[in-house]
Amino acid sequence: MNDTLGGLPRAFTKMAGAGNDFLVFPGRVAVGPREAETIRRLCRRGTGVGADGVLFVSPSAEPGERTTVVLDYYNADGGPARFCANGSRCAARFARLKGMAGDELSLRTGWGVLEATVRPDGSVTLRLPEPVAAGTWLPTFDAEARLVEARAAHVGVGVPHLVVFCAAGVEVETLDVAALGPPLRRHPDLPEGANVNFVSTRGSSRLSVRSYERGVEGETLSCGSGVVAAAVAAAAERGETPPISVATRSGSALVVDFRLDGSLAREVTLTGEARLLFEGTLTEEAL
Domains of the chain plus CATH, in order, are 4-128+274-286 (3.10.310.10), 132-271 (3.10.310.10)
Q: What pLDDT was estimated at residue 222?
A: 96
Question: Mean of the pLDDT values across residues 240-266?
Answer: 95
Q: Are 244 and 255 in contact (CB under 8 A)?
A: yes
Among candidates 179, 189, 51, which has minimal Cα distance to 198?
Answer: 179
Residue 269 has pLDDT above 70, yes or no: yes
β partners of residue 4: 9
pLDDT band of residue 62 (cuts 50, 70, 90) is: confident
Q: Which of 43, 90, 166, 223 is catalytic?
A: 223
DSSP structure class, residue 79: -
Q: Bridge-partner residues for 116, per DSSP?
A: 105, 126
Q: Report the candidate in 228, 223, 163 with the shortest Cα–Cα distance to residue 17.
A: 223
Helix (H, G, I), strand (E, B) or coil at 202: coil
In the residue annotation, 166 being an active-site residue is answered as no
Helix, strand, coil shares of the chain, percent, nearest 5, are 20, 40, 40
Do residues 224 and 17 touch, judged by C-beta distance below 8 A? Answer: yes
Q: 221 pLDDT exceeds 80?
A: yes
Question: 160: helix, coil or strand?
Answer: strand
Question: Which pTM does this prediction carry?
Answer: 0.93
Residue 265: beta bridge partners? 132, 260
Amino acid at 2: N
CA distances from 144 to 86, 168, 236 (A): 34, 16, 28
With beta carbons less than 8 A apart as the criterion, state whether 80 and 73 touch: yes
Are 24 and 13 in contact by the 8 Å Cβ rule? The answer is yes
Residue 223 designated active-site: yes
* Per-residue pLDDT at 144: 55
Residue-wise pLDDT for 73-126, tens only, equals 999 999 999 999 999 999 999 999 999 999 999 999 999 999 999 999 999 999
Burial call 97-122: b when 16+ CB within 10 Å, e when fewer: beebbeeebbbbbebeebbbbbeeee
- The active-site residue, picked from 43, 84, 90, 166, is 84
